[in-house]
Structure 1
């Protein structure tokens, strides 16, 4: 998607919470990496215009500070209506929509984030407010979950782009279905691992050809995809997952794994949505 097709560039929702300010800072950095404008959006529900202006001013100032003097253009937009609905509307003309993991109530995930994860028209990024020093990017890899579904293939394409943009490795995680094995080195498990490795190579072959500079590190694990993604996220800087997996009904659904990872992960999570 070009910037002409996404006039808002990257959209980040701001509500004045610490979580949303973390999202604003992350979005400003990402907009700089992508050479896109950043739209900081605050939606209020018809009252408290002065407070709304204050929230938006703080968030845009935070974005410009994070972006630096040579950073992307930053535009503030104050909107009136239901926050989730308004951000979903903006998502139709954006490359990414970014939100904090918690709303002003402190609950995780917030209702706005859930609304976007279910209905946004572009990928959604959920950013947590506890980006401790050990979770800062550095040379940490990008992590993507691959299960063969269409949305996981879309997630893989995004993950390759992000790894290339950051000049880091890509961890490609495939979690095999539960297997009735006799132990950690059971013969059946070895066969499953070999089949899964072949599956990853074939699935990612075209993307690897498009991004030859990206080093792919395949990971084969067994059972509990959510837990496996959260464990591997501890050594990553970004997680990319599909909005629903092979078991979901086609449509605007959010898979249980995607929802759990977006809620439980302590690093930014991109949920790849396709509409």
Structure 2
């Protein structure tokens, strides 16, 4: 049996992450390591140990059979937490959205954590509540989402929900100089991106014969495409490049738009090891 690392800082968002983990391990047993990253004086340790123990007891109350360990480690975010999660199935943290940083897992730190982590990172917004809905994955055209696609398919099967593959496209620049040329270019672009999406659907149905797969092709930017699907999803899954930055299908501000604003759980999956 594998284990999940829950990054915990005592905030409301961290409590939502704890609820997400409890919901998951109640149906898919896994050990839980509750990690508190502390950069502190020795006198603060009893306070941190107390709220970590309270969180552990809350998790055990939700899932009595869960094996829960506490690990209080000295260091700095996000590197220390990322290293603590090596070998885990998942790293789960909470984060506040639509607000200034109110916990160590907010904003840019969360983005850096997803860039550093060698395991999938689930970012759970404060106030999260379970939702019975498809698992949505953002499909890139450059292969950077391959691991995310496979992760999302397994997650959808485990939840007993459909897998929704969302792919977006926009016209390349510069545009043709005539209306007829623009129309022809748009049809060609649409066909090319439809082929990318169809290939992904075929691959997932072949790998998982019992999986229901939905395909969504959106003419919009990637952040808008995923945002439009998020409220109808139990989880939104995205991928990264091996160089660690959220690039490719997610470019700069797009990643920030999703992680900082989307009020739904996001899972960022690193590429598979070569």
TM-score bucket (shorter structure): 0.7 to 0.9
Q: 1:50 and 2:46 equivalent?
A: yes
* Residues 242 and 258 in structure 1, CA contact (< 8 A), matched pair in contact too: no
Q: Is 1:156 aligned to residue 149 of structure 2?
A: yes
1:251 equivalenced with 2:248 (yes/no): no
Question: Is 1:15 equivalent to 2:9 in the alignment?
Answer: yes
Aligned to 2:102: 106
Deviation of 1:270 after TM superposition, in Å, equals 0.3
Deviations 1:116-165 (A, max 9, x none): 11201111110001225xxx312x11111101333311110011011100
TM-score scaled by length of structure 1: 0.83
Q: Counterparts of 2:76 and 2:108 in 1: how far apart (Å)?
A: 11
Note if contact 2:201-2:213 (Cα within 8 Å) is conserved in structure 1: no
Could you list the runs of 5+ residues in structure 2 that have no partner in the other structure? none
Measured against aligned partners, the alpha-carbon deviations of 1:27-86 in whole angstroms (never above 9, x if no partner) come to 2222344321111111211320111112201221222233x234x311121212224222
Which residue in the other structure is 2:64 paired with? Answer: 69
Instruction: Tell me whether 1:26 sits opposite 2:23 in the alignment.
Output: no
- Across the two proteins, how many residue pairs are aligned to each other? 257
Match of 1:118 in 2: 115
Deviation at 1:239, TM superposition (A): 0.2
- Which runs of 5 or more structure 1 residues have no equivalent in the other structure? 245-249
Once residues 231 and 171 of structure 2 are traced to their aligned partners in structure 1, the CA distance between those partners, rounded to angstroms, is: 23
CA distance in structure 1 between the partners assigned to 2:142 and 2:237 by the alignment: 14
How far has the Cα of 1:17 moved from its partner? Answer: 0.3
1:247 aligns with none
Structure 1 residue 147 corresponds to structure 2 residue 140:
yes
Q: 2:55 aligns with which of 42, 50, 59?
A: 59
Aligned counterparts of 1:35 and 1:119: Cα–Cα separation in 2: 26
Deviates more, 1:253-262 or 1:32-41: 253-262
CA drift of 1:200 comes to: 1.5
